[in-house]
Amino acid sequence: MTLSKDDPRLLSYVLGELDEAESREIEAALDGDPEIRAEIDALRMTAEMLREGLAERAPKELPAQQRKVLEEATRETEMPKVAPLRRRLLRPSWLAAAAVALVSIPIGVMLARRNAEPVTEQARKDATAFEAPQKENDKKKTTAPRPKDDTKIDDATRREALRMLQEERAAQGGGVPSQIPKPRRLTARSKPRADENPFVYTTSIARTTFPLDVDTASYSLVERYIQEAGRRPPKDIVRVDELVNAFAYEDPPPFGDEPLAARAEVGYAPWTPSHRLVRLVLKAAPLDSTRRPPANLIFVIDKSPGFAKDPDKLPLLQAALRRVVSRLDAQDWVTLIEHGGPSQEPWLPPTPGDDKPRILTAIDRFEPSGAASPGDSIERAFKAAQAHFVEGGVNRVFLATDEQFAAGSEQGRLAALIRDKATTGISLSTLGFGPMDGPAGQTLKLLAEEGKGSFAPIGGPNDARTALVDEALGTRTPIARDVRVEVDFAPLYVRSFRLIGNEDRTGPEREFLDAWKGPVDLYAGHAVTALYELEPRPDTSGGSEAPPVPYLLTLRVRYKDATGQTSREIEVPLIDDRYRGTQSTDFHFAASVAAFGLLLRDSPFKGEMTLADVVAMAKKSLGTDPGGHRARFVNLLELVEFTPETGRKLPPRKPPPRKGSLCQPGDSLCSEL
């Protein structure tokens, strides 16, 4: 392709506005053309200067006084409207608007009592006070008999929620993280619509697709509502697709070298027996530790005495590093760089992975020294990464540091650098040792997001091993790129179809969220299940002839292999074989989970289904149930029978037991934080 250096697409490329195919085109052109490359560099430079310059001359956060006014306004939205305002900018024409906007600020509350306290602390107290009467109500309502041993909750879920809240708190306190614009994430889903996806007639639309970036957050929320608060979750936090995908299924893995397998099954829709339920599955190959892509790993290690001397920091890291090294071979590269050391030279220059003695010695001899700026070592790390870039492999910088980490004024520039490098295929992951609920954790998390890597708080040897070994050795390398699915229904046999769940991702007003329709990268071990309900066309053949093969749909999966070079396609036709009863246990289990979701949502499509039916169905399809996850689901179902329905008027404000929670369940902003 020939490109003019005046092409507007160059800027779009620099700003990350092109899709992957277009970006590749530009990159291809860029390789052969120094002029284009220079142009791209100049554009990047200008963009960076604009970002930095504009950031430098603006305040980073609102003055405390104004923040306080806002916090009051958000808390008091529902109170009677009185609007005494303290503001500098009052103009007559603004007054009307302001009176509407700022619904109420009780004067006494606002000014009298809180000057001394940090805003967030106060917000926490307010929320606690606010919650107290609510708690009382909760207690009264949950006196219904409940099986005792069912009330335990997944610790991981709780920890995760806790961490989320802490981070959010830190974000509000410091104001630091908002300096780095967050990349938009697909998990930022809007509030689902209460109504369900309708049936679509195949005569108007016969081809559709379903989202591959599945989330499972809704299931843990539903679980917490039922187990902790003893009530049914409000309808709009129940996302059937997320419930279904919260479980592991035992579909056969891809055959041979294939990275992906697709599967389609059909049976009766348990809630409406005249309909069919179709289960479509996409499953990526599990991680094979013997065959992995080459790795080019750069470890930036904190060199402060505080880090090196703490047995829960450097020694943990060293142990994990040794484990990583034991699995490397000649195709890999390792570089160690001191973070905070005075030296400009890497502690260990890029070294092939089979030179183990040298690497291990360097790891073991790593020792503390003085301090320098963070940005510098990361820049050097990226240079080293560039020098031994491996095509189609893992090119990743790891930043290992602790709660003392601070990027300070460098943060903006650092983030821009990291973001920039991430587009060239070098990612950055951060490992946070020590307590990560402060600003350091927040910063590290943001940097990792910019770097398309991940942030791992390291609390013990297991964390360190998972974070390093899995990350470094390719768990996070997509094994299939640009995956797209298409479902073609056969109008001859299918009158209409309905995608179950995903309410918030369909419909015209959700255009902004339609990113899921674009291609997605899939990683080892990834699996997606989609459920469709079909209304078959009534048999009009009269039965005199042998009925033609009742062909329902074709599932088509298009993707590129890990290198992004070769395109492949999987095609799975689905024939209506309901009479043969060949559905897997997984099919029935997924159906029961979906039915449960429909019941909780009080869906118009729930048919004749009752909770007892769901329990029976789930019990029959437990399968081998390795983690006991399905058995817990059955427990949950039984618990629901004792659980009062959530009133329409008073949605439970805070079902999780944490006090002072700023996060509403199902809060997409929260789940993004």
Partner 1 sequence: MPSEPTSHWVLLALSRYEAPLLRYASAIVGSAQAADVVQDTFLRLCNQDRAAVEPHLRAWLFTVCRNRALDVRRDKRQVEPVAEVDEVMPDNQPGPTEALERREAMRRVLGALDTLPERQREAVLLKFSGDLSYQEIAEVLGTSVSNVGFLLHTALRALREQVEKKDREAGRRNR
**61 near partner 1 (CB under 8 A):** yes
**177 near partner 1 (CB under 8 A):** yes
Determine the size of the site formed for partner 1 (CB under 8 A). 79
Shortest spacing between CB 505 and partner 1, in angstroms: 11
Maximal C-alpha separation, the chain: 90
Sequence-ordered list of residues with C-beta below 8 angstroms from that of 315, at least 6 positions apart, any chain: none
**64 near partner 1 (CB under 8 A):** no
What the block records as the tokens of 112 is 């009298």
Concatenating the DSSP letter of every residue in 409-434 gives GGHHHHHHHHHHHHHTT-EEEEEEES
Region from 88-96, 209-217, 219-227, 369-377 binding partner 1, contact rule CB under 8 A: 88-96
What the block records as the tokens of 139 is 């207690």
**153 near partner 1 (CB under 8 A):** no
| Cα(21)–Cα(26) distance, integer angstroms | 9
Strand partners, 554: 488, 573
Where does 459-566 show beta strands of DSSP type E?
478-489, 494-499, 520-523, 527-536, 551-561
Q: Give yes or no for a contact between 295 and 328, defined as CB atoms under 8 angstroms apart.
A: yes
| Cα(81)–Cα(563) distance, integer angstroms | 60
Shortest spacing between CB 132 and partner 1, in angstroms: 14
Shortest spacing between CB 167 and partner 1, in angstroms: 10
Distances (CA, A) of 210 to 261, 277, 498, 520: 16, 15, 11, 11
Concatenating the DSSP letter of every residue in 276-307 gives EEEEEEEEEPPP-SSS---EEEEEEEE-SHHH
Letters for 227-266 (x = contact with partner 1 by CB under 8 A, - = none) are: -------x-x------------------------------
From 361, 245, 338, select the one nearest 593 (Cα to Cα).
Answer: 245
**74 near partner 1 (CB under 8 A):** yes
- Would you give the distance in Å from CA 471 to the centre of its chain? 16
Letters for 184-223 (x = contact with partner 1 by CB under 8 A, - = none) are: x-----xx--------------------------------
| Cα(299)–Cα(64) distance, integer angstroms | 39
Region from 180-188, 223-231, 337-345, 625-633 binding partner 1, contact rule CB under 8 A: 180-188
Residue 544 burial (CB < 10 Å; 0-12/13-18/19+)? Answer: exposed
> Which of 98, 111, 200, 634 is the binder for partner 1 (CB under 8 A)?
98
Shortest spacing between CB 556 and partner 1, in angstroms: 28
> Which of 62, 82, 129, 330 is the binder for partner 1 (CB under 8 A)?
62
Sequence-ordered list of residues with C-beta below 8 angstroms from that of 410, at least 6 positions apart, any chain: 373, 374, 375
Helix axes 374-387, 411-423, angle to 10 degrees: 10
By C-beta, is 119 or 575 nearer to partner 1?
Answer: 119
Region from 239-247, 457-465, 505-513, 588-596 binding partner 1, contact rule CB under 8 A: 505-513
> Which of 24, 113, 152, 182 is the binder for partner 1 (CB under 8 A)?
182
Shortest spacing between CB 217 and partner 1, in angstroms: 16
**600 near partner 1 (CB under 8 A):** no
Q: Give yes or no for a contact between 268 and 300, defined as CB atoms under 8 angstroms apart.
A: no
Q: What share of the chain is helix, strand, coil (3-state, %, to 5)?
A: 40, 20, 40
Q: Give yes or no for a contact between 380 and 344, defined as CB atoms under 8 angstroms apart.
A: yes
Shortest spacing between CB 453 and partner 1, in angstroms: 20
Terminal-residue alpha carbon distance, the chain? 41
By C-beta, is 181 or 198 nearer to partner 1?
Answer: 181
User: Residue 471: how many CA atoms within 13 Å on its side-chain side?
Assistant: 26
> Which of 94, 289, 309, 330 is the binder for partner 1 (CB under 8 A)?
94
> Which of 70, 205, 612, 631 is the binder for partner 1 (CB under 8 A)?
70
Radius of gyration of the chain (CA): 28
**673 near partner 1 (CB under 8 A):** yes
State whether residue 104 is helix, strand or coil. coil
Shortest spacing between CB 502 and partner 1, in angstroms: 15
**49 near partner 1 (CB under 8 A):** yes
Q: Give yes or no for a contact between 258 and 516, defined as CB atoms under 8 angstroms apart.
A: no
**63 near partner 1 (CB under 8 A):** yes
Q: Give yes or no for a contact between 455 and 423, defined as CB atoms under 8 angstroms apart.
A: no
Shortest spacing between CB 415 and partner 1, in angstroms: 11
User: Residue 613: how many CA atoms within 13 Å on its side-chain side?
Assistant: 17
| Cα(325)–Cα(334) distance, integer angstroms | 8
**512 near partner 1 (CB under 8 A):** yes
**178 near partner 1 (CB under 8 A):** yes
**669 near partner 1 (CB under 8 A):** yes
Shortest spacing between CB 18 and partner 1, in angstroms: 10
Residues 637-666 that bind partner 1 (CB under 8 A): 651, 653, 662-664
Shortest spacing between CB 646 and partner 1, in angstroms: 11
- Map tokens 């650092």 to a residue: 414
**103 near partner 1 (CB under 8 A):** yes
By C-beta, is 63 or 460 nearer to partner 1?
Answer: 63
Region from 45-53, 307-315, 519-527, 591-599 binding partner 1, contact rule CB under 8 A: 45-53
**130 near partner 1 (CB under 8 A):** yes
**179 near partner 1 (CB under 8 A):** yes
Region from 30-38, 149-157, 167-175, 306-314 binding partner 1, contact rule CB under 8 A: 167-175
**47 near partner 1 (CB under 8 A):** yes
**55 near partner 1 (CB under 8 A):** yes
Region from 41-49, 215-223, 320-328, 637-645 binding partner 1, contact rule CB under 8 A: 41-49
> Which of 106, 175, 306, 375 is the binder for partner 1 (CB under 8 A)?
175
**509 near partner 1 (CB under 8 A):** yes
> Which of 26, 36, 40, 69 is the binder for partner 1 (CB under 8 A)?
69
Distances (CA, A) of 67 to 62, 121, 172, 181: 6, 13, 10, 20
Strand partners, 442: none
By C-beta, is 17 or 31 nearer to partner 1?
Answer: 17
Shortest spacing between CB 382 and partner 1, in angstroms: 18
Region from 84-92, 277-285, 327-335, 484-492 binding partner 1, contact rule CB under 8 A: 84-92
Task: Tell me the residue type at 69.
Answer: V
> Which of 4, 17, 129, 628 is the binder for partner 1 (CB under 8 A)?
17
Vertex 351: Cα angle to 348 and 352 (nearest 5): 155
Region from 166-174, 239-247, 473-481, 606-614 binding partner 1, contact rule CB under 8 A: 166-174
Task: Tell me the residue type at 286.
Answer: P
> Which of 101, 107, 492, 612 is the binder for partner 1 (CB under 8 A)?
101
By C-beta, is 217 or 320 nearer to partner 1?
Answer: 217
By C-beta, is 417 or 467 nearer to partner 1?
Answer: 417
State whether residue 545 is helix, strand or coil. coil
